[in-house]
Amino acid sequence: MDIDFTVENGEITITTDGLTGTLAEVNTAIANINSKQTDLLCVSADFDFEAIGGEITITAYKGSASVVTIPAEIAGIPVCYVGESIFDNSNNIRQINLPNETCAKDFDIEKFFLNLDFQGINILNRKYAYRESDMLLSDYGETLLYYKNSGTTLTIPVGIKTITTETFSDQSIVETVRIPASLEYIDEEQLSYFSIESEPLQFFSEGDKLIKIEVDAANTKYKDIDGVLFSKDGKVLIKYPCCKIGTHYNIPDEVEIICPCAFFGCRFLNSIYFANVQLIKRNYRYYDRINQDDSYFNREIFFELCFSDCEALTTITVNFTNAEYKDIDGVLCTATGELLKYPEARVCVNYVIPDGVKYVNSGAFRNARLLNGVMISQNVTYRRALLYFLQKDNKKAFYCGTTTQWNTYKSENWKQGTENEFGHDGNVISERLLFCFSDTQPTEEGKYWHYVNGVPTEW
């Protein structure tokens, strides 16, 4: 039987939690450990470690060598894992030699190379992670972690199979990207989640001048159509270059999925049309807990950025046969009644939420710079959520009911805090940009609006 134990600062501690077996078996196992004491402690000057289930995990490195070699086994017990941060305080390390690939699985490899003197990681005498020219490579040269390119054309080297979200994180002058036949995986799925306070990560995120992406025709995973990146079968639209020339784009009929940042930051597109898209992937997900009794704020909330920062976009049109999405006068909605995206360059002073819209996506009005405010009907279920997101974008909310009706709705649906503010992850919903309807000049204090020649106007 195996007994778990730790070796820390030259002391062996046996773990008895969950220990089962006969007394003779336990004594035999302890005697076995004692017989290996010399071998166990001989490496303790450089490492702390623990043995669990007959496998050793290195938990700390205490040495000072510039070349560190992790042993394949200690006292006959295989070393299978190395803690992800055991080298964080070892600034003089130049090379790490590992006995197997599992020892590297938790490493933040790029962190090692922040030390410009670090040469690389070897596994069984093979170069696993290393610098080569302007590249940072791992997986024996098949994954391109970082590539510093100095020209306007960036050619991914032949032989590279994987690129990550950080591979081209500093490529603001690149106009053309060329993808070789060998590339098998673009780490696009990691782009779906990011901090709401940070800039969204995206494939070629700093590609401020990107005009086209070219894919070798022999590539079996990807292809380009007129400089736009797709999956090989054409069903997934991965990236539309942000500076591609053209004001209108018809998404090909075979496309069924649009990736999270496919159109993010496109500068020249005025209009986009699609027919058969079944899924527009979301970027960010979190659970909102403003009010435990409010069904909208107990559900999962998504931050939609697929068409965000498209500074010229005025219209998103969906074929009427699409079962998942629709447009209402050029504004993108789901077929079930969620308003997803109001085009950012659309000209409208005060937007009226269409009948049939049940929810408003949290990024729906993001960067709608030509929009003054949004009119909120009395007959919708999302008033509270919408007010919060409009507040974040500094947009005015024109409520179509009176102050009395608003206060009635609020008392029935909101858990009131102080001064009409309601908690939201340390933020608040306030009524500073809320205007209630009043047909006559109001006498009581507050913010009000009325119609002047059919146009909502503040009193």
* DSSP per-residue letters across 50-99: EEETTEEEEEEE----SEEE--SEETTEEEEEE-TTTTTT-TT--EEEES
pLDDT band for 331, please (50, 70, 90 cuts).
very high
pLDDT band for 237, please (50, 70, 90 cuts).
very high
Span 148-175, average pLDDT = 79
Please name which of 187, 195, 184, 155 lies closest in space to residue 171, comparing C-alpha atoms.
155
The reply to whether 211 falls in a domain is no
Integer Cα distance of 211 and 228 in angstroms: 9
To 10 degrees, the CA torsion angle through 24, 30, 36, 38? -140
**Residue-level pLDDT at 17:** 60
Q: Is the pLDDT of residue 44 over 80?
A: no
- Which residues are CB-contacts of 454 (< 8 A; sequence separation ≥ 6)? none
Q: Is the pLDDT of residue 260 over 50?
A: yes
Q: What percentage of the chain has pLDDT greater than the value 90?
A: 25
**Residue-level pLDDT at 250:** 97
> For 285-321, how does the pLDDT look when each residue is reduced to its tens digit (9 = 90+)?
444 444 444 444 434 444 556 788 898 999 999 999 9
Beta pairing partners, 97? 69, 122
Integer Cα distance of 188 and 229 in angstroms: 12
* Residue 400 near residue 439, CB atoms below 8 Å: no
Q: Is the pLDDT of residue 185 over 90?
A: no
Instruction: Give me the count of residues in the chain.
Output: 459
**Residue-level pLDDT at 232:** 94
Q: Is the pLDDT of residue 207 over 60?
A: no
Q: Is the pLDDT of residue 349 over 80?
A: no
pLDDT band for 248, please (50, 70, 90 cuts).
very high
**Residue-level pLDDT at 208:** 67
The reply to whether 71 falls in a domain is yes
Helical residues (DSSP H) of 134-285, grouped into ranges? none
Q: Is the pLDDT of residue 157 over 80?
A: yes
Instruction: Pick the most confident of 185-194, 233-242, 288-297, 363-372.
Output: 233-242
Helical residues (DSSP H) of 218-298, grouped into ranges? 295-298
pLDDT band for 116, please (50, 70, 90 cuts).
confident
The reply to whether 21 falls in a domain is yes
The tokens for 331 are 């504004």
The CA-atom distances, in angstroms, between 288 and each of 296, 299, 423 are: 9, 7, 11
pLDDT band for 203, please (50, 70, 90 cuts).
very low
Q: Which of 48-52, 132-136, 347-351, 377-381 has the lowest mean pLDDT?
A: 377-381
Domain ranges, residue 85: 1-107
Please name which of 46, 442, 444 lies closest in space to residue 458, comparing C-alpha atoms.
442
Span 143-160, average pLDDT = 84
* Residue 398 near residue 456, CB atoms below 8 Å: yes
The reply to whether 37 falls in a domain is yes
Integer Cα distance of 61 and 354 in angstroms: 62
The reply to whether 59 falls in a domain is yes
Choice between 187 and 459, residue whose per-residue pLDDT is larger: 459
The reply to whether 42 falls in a domain is yes
The CA-atom distances, in angstroms, between 180 and each of 160, 212, 217 are: 8, 15, 9
**Residue-level pLDDT at 122:** 93
Tally of domains within the chain: 1
Please name which of 208, 211, 210, 238 lies closest in space to residue 223, comparing C-alpha atoms.
238
Q: What percentage of the chain has pLDDT greater than the value 70?
A: 76
Integer Cα distance of 160 and 256 in angstroms: 28
Span 217-238, average pLDDT = 94
Instruction: Quote the mean pLDDT of the chain.
Output: 78
pLDDT band for 422, please (50, 70, 90 cuts).
very low
* Residue 382 near residue 296, CB atoms below 8 Å: yes
Span 51-59, average pLDDT = 86
Q: Which of 13-17, 253-257, 316-320 has the lowest mean pLDDT?
A: 13-17
Q: Is 333 exposed, middle or buried (0-12, 13-18, 19+ CB in 10 A)?
A: buried
Q: Is the pLDDT of residue 230 over 50?
A: yes
Choice between 413 and 85, residue whose per-residue pLDDT is larger: 85
Please name which of 33, 78, 30, 32 lies closest in space to residue 55, comparing C-alpha atoms.
78
**Residue-level pLDDT at 264:** 84
- Strand bridging mode 284-287 / 271-274: unpaired
The tokens for 204 are 């070629």
CB atoms within 10 A of CB 369: 9
